Structure 1
């Protein structure tokens, strides 16, 4: 069974709350605190990159074969996807990618938005 973990990005302080809170701890947080524009709730995908780093929604991944395309992790249609923000490649299901030796977490959309800029 995969671990159910969350992290919460606080838009007001520009910091993550303590990462790795389990479902029970997050469920104790008042609903209005994590469902407004001041915070972003992101879930752990259950996957790790080639270095053993846990992959969460909002993380930015880099594939070893392409130093020029970075992917963001997003949840849609009931699945986690690696989304190519440059739109060169189509979205890939996270489970179909080989993380053990190909993907690396290089940042996240909150702290490292510059990693998503497309070089012309």
Structure 2
């Protein structure tokens, strides 16, 4: 069974999510580094709250991203919104041309009831055929991908898309 967990982009920082309360419409962010601990501590002191490196914010003010249940070739967890780097071969009919193999980037999204890649740096991607024809084979490809950033903190990685 896949582990269900989330992270959240809030105030230009990526936080782990301790819990989501749909009834009250808030998400509890968990500090994962010293910068975030200071940020949360400052806010909580102003509100006279001691919450152990946790901060409750409105869901509408944070961008929630779900864990895919997959890891990249380095063992890094892959989340919705991550940008992955992978070796590509171009669309069918071109993969056997010498020198056509290339490195491509794309963002991970949940669409059509499944995990997909989108916003390719180069749209001439051979992975599209695998993604659309045999989704199990496509998911297996994630083991060869590498997470290099995400669309919120590193949007420039996908700039210059074709």
With the shorter chain as reference, the TM-score category is 0.7 to 0.9
- CA RMSD in angstroms, aligned pairs only: 2.5
Provide Cα deviations, 1:26-75, integer angstroms capped at 9, x if missing partner: 237842611x2x311100000000000000000000103432x2110011
2:2 counterpart of 1:5:
no
Q: Per residue, is there more helix in 1 or in 2? A: 2
- 2:12 counterpart residue number: 14
Partner residue, 1:116: 158
Q: Secondary structure at the match of 1:118?
A: coil
Q: Which residue of the partner structure matches residue 116 of structure 2?
A: 81
* TM-score, normalisation: structure 1: 0.77
Per the normalisation by structure 2, the TM-score is 0.58
Alignment pair present for 1:104 and 2:140:
no
Residues 118/4 of structure 1: CA separation in 2 closer, same or farther (3 Å cut): same
Separation (CA, whole Å) in 2 of partners of 1:115 and 1:53: 18
Moved over 6 A (4+): none
8 Å contact from structure 2 (residues 122, 161) kept in 1: no
SS state of the match for residue 142, structure 2? coil
Larger of the two Rg values belongs to structure: 2
Counterpart Cα distance in 1 of 2:66 and 2:78: 9
Return 5+ residue gaps in structure 2 as ranges: 27-57, 89-101
Instruction: Give 1:71's match in structure 2, choosing from 103, 106, 114.
Output: 106
Q: Which sections of structure 1, spanning at least 5 residues, go unmatched?
A: none
| Distance in 2 (alpha carbons) for counterparts of 1:108 and 1:79 | 19
Aligned to 1:99, what secondary structure does the other structure show?
Answer: helix
Equivalent pairs, count: 110
1:81 CA displacement: 0.4
Q: Which is richer in strand? A: 1
CA offsets, 1:61-104, max 9 Å, x none? Answer: 0103432x21100111111101125433348377514233x210
